[in-house]
Amino acid sequence: MGQWRNWQSAAAPSSQTGDLLELGSGPGHLLADLSRSVLRSVGIDTSMQMLKRAQRNLVHRGITPMLTQGRAQALPFLSNHFSDIIATFPSEYIVDPATLAEAFRVLQPRGEFVIVGLIQITGNSLADRFAAWLYRFTGQSGEPQEEWKIPLHEAGFRPRFEIIEQERARVLRVVGLKPD
């Protein structure tokens, strides 16, 4: 339905200053969109194929790619380096305690770890209604659950939920703030 990139945009950090890390950067579309609003956008992905695709996409848009292959559970970056970390529509690795510990380690104090992964489709077209049903069926839609904050809290973050209203959807941002 052409909404995926709109939904991804809800992950944009509040501060938009400093270096940003995208976990699971995929084809690099969000990195390209954010590259002009942050000092440096870095993408990490386990898939070499996705990284090659991201490199082509970024170079095509005139952006020097900052990409690395790796896993979120063992980030190859210095501690306290990134002002923000984002992940959109991640798989189960996002709640792995090793992922959360690594995100906490490489994030600067007062930095935000933003996860977007739950959508409520609100459009009224037939395609929107079908997609809304499908997303409910697959578990990608619904109401935020307070217990989702527990892994972030246990990793040291101060978690909160934010709902981003878009034209045809509500997007849930789960934000973990790293305290001072």
What does the pLDDT read at residue 2?
64
* pLDDT above 90 (res 113): yes
Handedness of CA 80, 153, 31, 92 (dihedral sign): positive
pLDDT value at position 1? Answer: 57
Say what the pLDDT of residue 104 is: 98
> What's the confidence (pLDDT) of residue 59?
95
Q: How does pLDDT run across 30-46, given as a tens digit for each residue? A: 999 888 776 788 999 99
> Residue 20: phi, psi to the nearest 5?
-115, 140
The pLDDT of residue 16 is 62
Q: Provide the CB-side half-sphere exposure for 62 (13 A, CA).
A: 1
Token pair listed for 19: 């270096």
* Helix, strand, coil percent content, the chain, rounded in steps of 5: 35, 30, 35
Q: Is 141 left (phi over 0), alpha (psi -120 to 50) or beta?
A: beta
Contacts of 7 (CB under 8 A, 6+ apart): 88, 89, 116, 119, 166, 169, 171
> Residue 36, class by beta-carbon neighbours within 10 Å (0-12 exposed, 13-18 middle, 19+ buried)?
exposed
pTM: 0.90
Q: How many domains does the chain have?
A: 1
Q: What is the pLDDT of residues 88-109, one digit of tens each?
A: 989 889 999 999 999 999 999 9
Q: Please provide the average confidence, as pLDDT, over all residues in the chain.
A: 90
Q: Which residue, among 4, 40, 3, 12, has the nearest Cα to 114 in the 3D structure?
A: 12
> What percentage of the chain has pLDDT greater than the value 90?
58
Mean of the pLDDT values across residues 100-125?
93
Of 148, 147, 71, the closest CA to residue 116 belongs to: 148
Average pLDDT, integer, range 135-159? 88
Domain of residue 141, residue span = 4-177
Mean pLDDT of 57-78: 95
CATH of the domain at 159: 3.40.50.150
